Structure 1
């Protein structure tokens, strides 16, 4: 299976956690129109534009881990496009992630510290 430059077979193996995916494997697709439109879009879009989009998408998903100088520049670009309003410090970002993943222990530590 091959859709323009996207290896659908590899994607499905990873998504479905399947070692071997044969051509006889049935996969239900509830949005055939989406993939047809995606295929058309990929065929009609300049390769450099696609590469830039994919790089931007990857970078924007990982800005929390960039050095401050780059994350600040990223936020400036996002502000210009109306997509972002602030940039948390790395410490604030780390604390937010800890709170998100360990809410009960963080709350317990806060209460113990605040109300000794």
Structure 2
């Protein structure tokens, strides 16, 4: 199989070897060393709740409007990573910011 690529104004033919599928073998990429992931950044989101509305109702919103969220005030908030709930907790104030006190850790699936 051949492939053509253009780089800096010239064309180069690249010969590709046929890939031979094999059974996986050897150590896993991470193995038991999950510490390799310690510095990988992730973004946590804290979900208070959701609201089902229409575009018309959304367009009619004005300042001082109050939206009722689908979660009771005494229900823990969801801590979410990539769309997966990883924990739940209570809303707290830390200095001048909101924070979350973790009350539950999600069980591994």
TM-score by length of 1: 0.20
Higher relative contact order (CA 8 A, sep 6+): 2
Which structure carries more helix by proportion? Answer: 1
Radius of gyration: which is bigger?
Answer: 2
TM-score by length of 2: 0.21
